[in-house]
Copies of this chain bind each other. A is one copy, B any other.
Amino acid sequence: MNAGKPLTIVSQNEKILSLMQRIEKIAPSDSSVLLVGETGVGKEVFADYIHRYSQRRDKPFVKVGLAAMPADLLESELFGHEKGAFTSAHAEKKGLFEIADGGSIFLDDIDDVPMPIQSKLLRVLESGELMRVGATRPIRVDVRLITASKIDLKLLIERDKFRSDLFYRLNVVPMHIPPLRERSDDVPRLMNYFLENYGNGKPLPVTPRAMSALQRYSWPGNVRELRNVAQRLALFAEKEIDVKDLPAEIAHSGGLDVLLKKCQTCFYEDAMSFSQVMACLEANLLKQALAANQFNQSQAARHLKMSLSTFRDKLKKHSILLSDSL
């Protein structure tokens, strides 16, 4: 974290650091940027970062989520309309492109844009001008375009759902933001950062066991989910955060959840029998107990509340070798 620079991207992951260096290099250039990454990875945060480092930092930065909007509403929203252009157009309206004139515009979920809107976006990019709905004269706009997609747009192009010519103009600078599970090394520092943030500057310590569970979790909701968890922890946790304070799906991320996912293949995909599934579950439970107890069979058996003899009989039954190179 650089002193004096307002920075919301907390990371020491080399993929992210490399992204940030690239951003600092291209931000002043005014090139269109396409950010690709899963929901919750922080595409908007990266867009902010780009805008901050651009020459347009003192101009408007308008953000639009494109999903869930019908084409006609979206058109009006982005490009504005003239009075009387349609029944409910009681007055002329500036679109967000006009509002952003001189600055930047961030279009989230570009993969969700209907074809007619794609055409108009292309025109803006090619000619630097737009037509309001119902207008006869174009309006010039000077806007830097930053877009975001949660999937690879090439998939849509292949299926004729996205214009390749528009794609090439958007994709001048492509940037892939990795999901949080691919940079779990950042989980501890992100969690500590948000906890301090929500704790009014007072850091709230996390036990090593809790931090391990947080790091093991797959974070399907990415950084947004982590931030939400941090917010709740900062509200409800007392002196420090232990495993018992974590949401169930995270606290158990090292437990039967993992176990079950291992056995789903058994039961559904491989159409195994009841006894095979139970055997699979059992074998995995035994292995986990061993690993968790440094391969001390006596401790592992006590952990599972069974006798050492039973434990050993089961290891033999499942041909489980005594090694930490399983």
Chain A contact residues, CB within 8 Å of chain B = 6, 8, 39, 42, 44-45, 48, 52, 57-65, 67-70, 72-73, 77, 81, 88-94, 96, 99, 111-112, 150-151, 155-156, 159, 161, 198, 200, 220-221, 224-225, 227-228, 231-232, 235, 248, 251-252, 255-257, 259-260, 263-264, 267-268, 272-278, 281-282, 285, 304-306
Q: Which 10 pairs across A and B sit closest by C-beta, in order of nearness?
A: A273-B305, A274-B304, A260-B260, A58-B91, A58-B93, A6-B73, A45-B68, A8-B68, A274-B306, A256-B260
Minimum distance in angstroms from A148 CB to a CB of chain B: 12
Q: List 13 A-B contacts (CB under 8 A).
A: A39-B221, A44-B68, A58-B90, A58-B92, A58-B93, A60-B99, A156-B235, A255-B268, A256-B260, A256-B267, A259-B260, A275-B306, A278-B281
Contact A88 B57 (CB under 8 A): yes
Known: A60-B99, A68-B42. A252 touches B264 (CB 8 A): yes
What are the residues of chain B within 8 A of A6 when measuring CB–CB?
70, 72-73
Partner of A255, one of B45, B61, B264: B264
Also in contact, A60 and B94, with CB within 8 A (given A39-B224, A231-B151, A274-B304): yes
Query: How far apart are the CA atoms of A63 and B251 in the complex, in Å?
Result: 35
Task: List, in ascending order, chain B residues with CB within 8 A of A93's CB.
Answer: 58-60
| Closest-CB distance, A51 to chain B (whole angstroms) | 10
Q: What chain B residues lie within 8 Å of A94 (beta carbons)?
A: 60
A263 touches B256 (CB 8 A): yes
